[in-house]
Amino acid sequence: MQIYNSLTRKKEEFKPLREGKAGIYACGPTVYNYFHIGNARPFITFDVLRRQLEREGYEVTFVQNFTDIDDKMIRRANEEGITVAELAERFIGEYYKDAKALGIRPATVHPKATEHIPEIIDLISRLIANGHAYATPSGDVYYRVSAFPGYGKLSGQRTEDRETGASERLDVETDKESPEDFTLWKGQKPGEPAWDSPWGKGRPGWHIECSAMSMKYLGETFDIHCGGKDLLFPHHENEIAQSEGATGKPYVRYWMHNGFINVDNQKMSKSLNNFFTVRDISREFDLEAVRLFMLSAHYRSPINFSREQIEAANASLNRLYTARDHLRFCAANGEDRPLNEQEAAFIKRIAEYEKRFDAAMDDDLNTADALGAIFELVKDSNISIGEKSSKAVAEAALKSLTAVCGVLGFLTKGNEELPEEIARMVREREEARKNKDWKKSDELRDAIRAEGYILEDTKQGQKVRKDV
């Protein structure tokens, strides 16, 4: 697999530290609200990266954190009159609901910042001991940027360009050695949660949390760190400085960053009233269609979110489900015989479609071209396979379609067995249709749909799947 490495600014062949194993750290959400559509893009993109590496035989350790302590969380918890821990627990639960609806698999490990305070304190202590950090009389600890000559190597931005990180207080303190130094530990302010430390009660800064958690689960040097382009500076730049400042070793070998999302060709912003959470969108759109929309462009390219784009993605998704259901029906009802010459040729074409799919995915996760290969397979299957085809050719096409769509996280609905009551009504309706009892047929159709199942009458017979 070729990966565009943000650190070197070029595509490189992925060569893991340990043969057959891949370690990935993906920046997760700050759990003070439902996550928004911009957050969804990296969550989906790097879920697909994990799936493709697994398809290629890697054993993947995928770590995605929860930031469960920061300024925004403290403010919202105070507004609601609850603890920060209660707020975090609520929105971690909501994250899992929305992530599942988007087809995002749980990480191997979902570490929380508040459960790794000892590791964070240890890392800060190492930085102070080697001169890369310093404590102040106010109980704050800062990273000494001037002690790390490589600062800026990821983003290309120099220290004079540095902006305050999203979860840091504005730089109004007077006890910094230099304005570009960033916070590792924040001394406790009235009403804030705090933990004991060698520098007094306080809480960690945002950047140090990810360094401590990633290195705990993946080692001091690991394979891939990924996230949105907005995190490249200062968050990921600061992670490199503090991690390598502590260990003296390279921190991450491949950095991956996805492009931004615009909404109706405008930057997403609450002031423009175009700021949507995934939960908002789920009330109007099938989130599997949102996932397909996200993967229809290369992950590093900007993408424009609009109603028309989601409707187009939904039409494409329906094509996939129709093709799958057609192949399922043919596999169940086709002729039980050896392949004929045309079917044998189709089987060879299946291998070519899969080869094209993998080539696209190995070209820096080019999901747009991978989708093109899938729809070529669908088109060929629709033409080549019908009710007179052999079971074997339909089964082969179904297996291939399911496999490649599975890498992208599609065709997740209708995989469960039909409940016996629904299966009974389907059989009764088939009998009613044979007997031309159209009244009973219509009644059974309506009853099946009322139970939440999509029923289609085709030339090959009835097709039924759960409407999820």
**Tell me: the pLDDT tens digits for 310-359?**
999 999 999 999 999 999 999 988 999 999 999 999 999 999 999 999 99
Please report the pLDDT score of residue 265 as a whole number.
Answer: 83
Please give the Cα distance from 397 to 358 (Å, whole number).
Answer: 16
Please report the pLDDT score of residue 416 as a whole number.
Answer: 64
**In DSSP terms, which residues pair with 222 in a beta bridge?**
252
Chain segment 78-109, per-residue pLDDT in tens? 999 999 999 999 999 999 999 999 999 999 99
20, exposed or middle or buried, with CB in 10 Å at 0-12, 13-18, 19+? exposed
Chain segment 24-51, per-residue pLDDT in tens? 999 999 999 999 999 999 999 999 999 9
For the chain, the average pLDDT equals 92
Please report the pLDDT score of residue 459 as a whole number.
Answer: 62
* Nearest one of 290, 295, 320, 288 to 307, comparing CA atoms: 290
| Residue 467 pLDDT > 90 | no
Please report the pLDDT score of residue 391 as a whole number.
Answer: 95
Q: Among 161-175, 320-334, 429-443, where is mean pLDDT lowest?
A: 161-175
Spatial neighbors of 8 by CB under 8 A, at least 6 apart, are: none
Please give the Cα distance from 357 to 348 (Å, whole number).
Answer: 15
| Residue 182 pLDDT > 90 | yes
HEC string for the chain: CEEEECCCCEEEECCCCCCCEEEEEECCCECCCCCEHHHHHHHHHHHHHHHHHHHCCCEEEEEECEECCCHHHHHHHHHHCCCHHHHHHHHHHHHHHHHHHCCCCCCCECCEHHHHHHHHHHHHHHHHHCCCEEECCCCCEEECHHHCCCCCCCCCCCHHHCCCCCCCCCCCCCCCCCCCCEEEEEECCCCCCCECCCCCCEEECHHHHHHHHHHHHHCCCEEEEEEEHHHHHHHHHHHHHHHHHHHCCCCEEEEEEECCEEECCEECCHHHCCCCEHHHHHCCCCHHHHHHHHHCCCCCCCEEECHHHHHHHHHHHHHHHHHHHHHHHHHHHCECCCCCHHHHHHHHHHHHHHHHHHHHHHECCCHHHHHHHHHHHHHHHHHHCCCCCEHHHHHHHHHHHHHHHHHHCCCCCCCCCCCHHHHHHHHHHHHHHHCCCHHHHHHHHHHHHHCCEEEEEECCEEEEEECC
Please report the pLDDT score of residue 305 as a whole number.
Answer: 92
Please report the pLDDT score of residue 171 as a whole number.
Answer: 44
Q: Which amino acid is at 65?
A: N
Please report the pLDDT score of residue 249 as a whole number.
Answer: 98
Domains of the chain and any CATH numbers: 2-130+205-258 (3.40.50.620), 312-408 (1.20.120.640), 420-466 (no CATH)
Please report the pLDDT score of residue 452 as a whole number.
Answer: 82
More confident residue, 427 or 447: 447
Task: Kindly provide the b/e burial profile for residues 422-445, where b requires at least 16 CB atoms within 10 angstroms of the residue's own CB.
Answer: beebbebbeebbeeeeeeebeebb
Please report the pLDDT score of residue 159 as a whole number.
Answer: 58
Average pLDDT (287-296) is 97
Please report the pLDDT score of residue 161 as a whole number.
Answer: 57
More confident residue, 201 or 160: 201
Please report the pLDDT score of residue 166 as a whole number.
Answer: 37
| Residue 392 pLDDT > 80 | yes
Please report the pLDDT score of residue 267 as a whole number.
Answer: 80
Please report the pLDDT score of residue 433 as a whole number.
Answer: 87
| Residue 165 pLDDT > 50 | no
Residue that has been written with the tokens 């390219």 in this structure: 301
Chain segment 184-211, per-residue pLDDT in tens? 999 999 989 999 999 999 999 999 999 9
More confident residue, 166 or 150: 150
Please give the Cα distance from 420 to 39 (Å, whole number).
Answer: 40
* Nearest one of 127, 129, 120 to 145, comparing CA atoms: 127
Instruction: Give the pairing of strands 261-263 and 303-305.
Output: parallel
Average pLDDT (115-133) is 98
Quote the tokens at residue 241. 């400085």
pLDDT category, 121, cuts 50, 70, 90?
very high
107, exposed or middle or buried, with CB in 10 Å at 0-12, 13-18, 19+? buried
| Residue 272 pLDDT > 90 | no
Please report the pLDDT score of residue 174 as a whole number.
Answer: 56
More confident residue, 133 or 468: 133
Whole-angstrom CA distances from 182 to 246, 264, 402 are 15, 36, 48
**Percentage of the chain exceeding pLDDT 90:** 81
More confident residue, 433 or 407: 407
